[in-house]
Every structure is written in C-alpha cells, then in structure tokens.
Amino acid sequence: MAQGKIPSSVLFCCDHNAIRSPMAEGMMKQFYGRSAYVQSAGVKSDMEVDGFAIAVCDEMGVPLANHRSRSFDEMRDWGDDLSQFDLIVALSPASQRMALEMTRHAHLDVEYWPIMDPAGLAEGREAKLNAYRQTRDQIRSRMIERFGPPRT
C-alpha cells in the first residue's frame, strides 16, 4: 500500500488492547474520520484500558474512556473476521506473531510498528505520564508517516 493511501479497514493490535492499540484506534478515528473502518484488539483482553493512556490521549482530544478491551478470540466470537481487514498494524512482537498466524491463509498486509510499551517504565505520576506521552507520540508519528497528515 502506498504511503498516504488509507485502507478501507484497519486493525491495530498489541498485547492486551489496553494501551497501544486503543491509542492507535482512537487517533486513527480522530485524524482520518470515517475514511476507514478501524478496530483494535489484543492477544489477550485481561486488562481494562489504562488510565494513563486515557489521560494522555485526552490531552490531544482523543477519547478512550469508553473503549472496551477485546482479544483476537473475542473478535472472532463476535463475528469480526480478521481477513476482512485490509491492513493489520501490530504494535508488539506478540501481536505480530498472532496476526500473522491467524491470517496466514488470507492475502492481507500485516505491518509491524515497534512501539514502546510504557507500562511499568516509570515511577510516579508525572514520569508515567511522560512515558505514555512518548508512546502516544510514537504512534502519532508512525500514523502520519504512513497515512499522511490528519484530515480533521
């Protein structure tokens, strides 16, 4: 896919669908509106959306508070077929492996964006917020590099 071209459907994935992939889903929807169907999932869905992720996305007007974490298995159970997505963006090595495994018979693109997991990297509220901001900004930079400037 050419840089700047937005696929009609994108799935972002990470380990728990609690930090990186919800951030990416929220930013994609905010930046590019309805130009793509956007979802996110995790290898597992054993955590709620992280409060620090919500806070740093709120800073840029991206609402995450209503996001509900879900796993690849839950997606499948709810009728979302991974092969329906034009592009899967994996934000962690484990999610990249899972996406490649689950789509090995489908002809779709799986991209890996090595995005830092900020969980547990810092002590104290301000240091944690700064780590989460770094992750948010990494995703934002990769997204703009890949899909072009925000349209909203």
Task: Reply yes or no on whether the pLDDT at 3 is more than 70.
Answer: no
Question: In the predicted model, what is the mean pLDDT of residues 85-114?
Answer: 89
Contact partners, residue 43, CB within 8 Å, separation at least 6: 13, 14, 15, 16, 71, 72, 92, 94, 95, 98
CA atoms within 13 A on the CB side of 119: 14
CATH of the structural domain 9-146, one choice from 3.40.50.2300, 3.20.20.80, 2.40.10.480, 3.40.50.1370 = 3.40.50.2300
Contact partners, residue 117, CB within 8 Å, separation at least 6: 14, 15, 19, 20, 92, 135
Considering the entire predicted model, what is its pTM?
0.92
List, for residues 108-138, the tens digit of each pLDDT value.
Answer: 789 999 999 998 888 899 999 999 999 999 9
Q: Per-domain residue ranges for the chain?
A: 9-146
Mean pLDDT of the chain: 89
Distance between CA atoms of 29 and 32, rounded to whole angstroms? 6
Strands 109-112 and 87-90: parallel
Q: Which amino acid is at 27?
A: M
Tell me the residue length of the chain. Answer: 152
Q: What is the pLDDT of residue 4?
A: 66
Question: Are the C-beta atoms of 29 and 144 separated by less than 8 Å?
Answer: no
Question: Are the C-beta atoms of 122 and 128 separated by less than 8 Å?
Answer: yes
Question: In the predicted model, what is the mean pLDDT of residues 12-35?
Answer: 94
Contact partners, residue 91, CB within 8 Å, separation at least 6: 12, 13, 14, 20, 21, 24, 113, 115, 139
